[in-house]
Amino acid sequence: MDAAAMSRIGLAGLAVMGQNLALNIAEKGFPISVYNRTASKVDETVGRASAEGGLPLIGHHTPRDFVLSIARPRSIIILVKAGAPVDQTIAALSQFMDPGDAIIDGGNEWYENTERRLREAAARGLLYLGMGVSGGEDGARHGPSLMPGGHLQAYHNVQDVLARVAAQVDDGPCVTFVGEGGAGNFVKMVHNGIEYGDMQLISEAYDVLRTVGGLSNSELAEIFADWNSGELESFLIEITADIFRVPDEHGDGELVDKILDKTGMKGTGKWTVQQAAELSVAAPTIAASLDSRYLSGLKEEREAAARVLDQAGIGGEVSGASLGRSIDKKRLIDDVRQALYASKICSYAQGMNLLRAKSEERGWNLNLGELARIWKGGCIIRARFLDRIKKAYERNRVLANLIVDPEFAREMVQRQGAWRRVVGMAIEAGISTPGMCSSLAYFDTYRRARLPANLVQAQRDYFGAHTYERVDRPGSFHTEWSKIARQSKAGAGAFN
């Protein structure tokens, strides 16, 4: 095969994401070879490429033909299920690859697996990237957010392709070299954790508006559409507005009301919370969203609990219905919008601080402002306010927390009244808003110069002699708490 007829890049793994990304690459004018073990997947993709006007995409049915059809140094994207399938695909392809060629794993892989594969690839002279890809099916086809990390040379080899394939925003394509090792996968993982938080917070806003405010689906559709033209503008708010408009094809009303209230998950949110714990970074909003998914899964238990507590008389205690009657709808809607925004800032602050902690641990030198920028388009959490987050980190690269950026600080203060009203009302009505409550508690804990941790320290020193520090002098101290307390009790007794 002469060099001109060779493909610029290859892609193996033609499930939904793989097919769409391959078509996207071909559409941008980069000849691409595709491969899948299941021959029908290859034929399906080739069929789509020709249906779309003869895109430069060539299908191959054996790993050898596939690899050899790509111009050197080769870059091969693999999009298969994380874990063992990635290792199997690498094994099948790498035997035909040459030193200097690169493998780019676009799956939601655990970052340490990528670091292991980086080492294994290096031992054979191969380059490796772990690349987060966000945007779902549509993003993959028309412009995803790409988070490649690993071997810088492997990135340079495909930089032109990725820059054209990624979503485009006002300040460039939504792709950047994230960092070495598993940095790309880690950043994608935290992106997904933030996504969990966003979805939870939106669902709580919906619950408050529906349950306390008594709003109908068509009213909700209008409100979310309206929010999407302001500070909350984002992909998730936009699709939420759409969701409320879809009728149920099997009966009356809207489909959303017929969906079983049990949330699924694939693991990246759990990894985010585990990593936050490992690094001692508080991420309560993201953790609350994960816990909410776990609790949602206990559908039968929740139904049983509802019956037991109903019989125990809880209906008379929580006042959702009575609140509903006296509610100023317009004010409630505006308050919920502000509560959602403030809660979201806290959630992003947690995600960003988790990224920074990991970056320090691993020496990744992550650029948080640049990460906010590549999330502005293509991905699931794309949102107008990511531009503000980008600017906050540009103003101050070592910003301790988004909350203390002067602009965000002002916004938080402006919204705290509404935020407290919404959370207070939800608590009174017995509607759980764990995301909003966690965000508010995070804010109130972080902004208070003095916390009751002094008492916890005293307890620790009392029962475990763990010592404590003092506010007024240096050093570490231990007190014989029980002895002194007994003496002073005895002393106090003497007065009686």
Ligand X SMILES: *[C@@H]1O[C@H](CO)[C@@H](O)[C@H](O)[C@H]1NC(C)=O
Active-site positions read 188, 195
The pairing of beta strand 9-12 with beta strand 57-60: unpaired
Q: Which of 6, 37, 136, 319 binds ligand X (CB under 6 A)?
A: 37
Q: Which of 36, 108, 157, 338 binds ligand X (CB under 6 A)?
A: 36
Residue 412 binds to ligand X (criterion: CB under 6 A): no
DSSP 8-state code for residue 206: H
C-alpha–C-alpha distance, residues 233 and 439, integer Å:
20
Least Å distance, CB 90 to ligand X, is: 10
Residue pair 333/219 in contact by the 8 Å Cβ criterion: no
Residue whose C-beta lies closest to ligand X:
37
Residue 456 binds to ligand X (criterion: CB under 6 A): no
Site for ligand X in 53-92 (CB under 6 A): 80, 85, 89
Nearer to ligand X, 14 or 425 (CB): 14
C-alpha–C-alpha distance, residues 318 and 322, integer Å:
9
Interface pattern 11-30 for ligand X (x via CB under 6 A): -xxxx---------------
C-alpha–C-alpha distance, residues 86 and 101, integer Å:
17
C-alpha–C-alpha distance, residues 372 and 378, integer Å:
12
C-alpha–C-alpha distance, residues 234 and 227, integer Å:
9
Phi, psi of 9 (to 5 degrees): -155, 165
Count of residues that interact with ligand X, criterion CB under 6 A? 11
The two three-digit tokens of residue 349, written as one number: 């602050």
The dihedral through the CA atoms of 383, 385, 388, 393 has a sign that is negative
Least Å distance, CB 137 to ligand X, is: 15
Name the segment binding ligand X (CB under 6 A); options: 35-43, 168-176, 286-294, 405-413.
35-43
Interface pattern 150-189 for ligand X (x via CB under 6 A): ----------------------------------------
Residue 38 binds to ligand X (criterion: CB under 6 A): yes
Nearer to ligand X, 102 or 352 (CB): 102
Q: Is 139 marked within a binding site?
A: no
C-alpha–C-alpha distance, residues 184 and 358, integer Å:
12
Nearer to ligand X, 133 or 368 (CB): 133
Q: How many CB atoms lie within 10 A of CB 97?
A: 25
* CA neighbor of 161 nearest in space, from 338, 11, 3, 339: 11
Nearer to ligand X, 13 or 139 (CB): 13
Please compute, for residue 156, the number of CA atoms within 13 A of its CA located in the half-sphere on the CB side: 6
Sequence-distant (6+) residues with CB within 8 A of 31 are: 6, 7, 8, 56, 57, 58
Q: Is 61 marked within a binding site?
A: no
Nearer to ligand X, 38 or 396 (CB): 38
Residue pair 5/26 in contact by the 8 Å Cβ criterion: no
Binding site listing for substrate = 108, 134-136, 191-192, 196, 266, 293, 460, 466
Binding site listing for NADP(+) = 13-18, 36-38, 80-82, 108
Give the footprint of ligand X on this chain (CB under 6 A).
12-15, 36-38, 41, 80, 85, 89
Binding site listing = 13-18, 36-38, 80-82, 108, 134-136, 191-192, 196, 266, 293, 460, 466
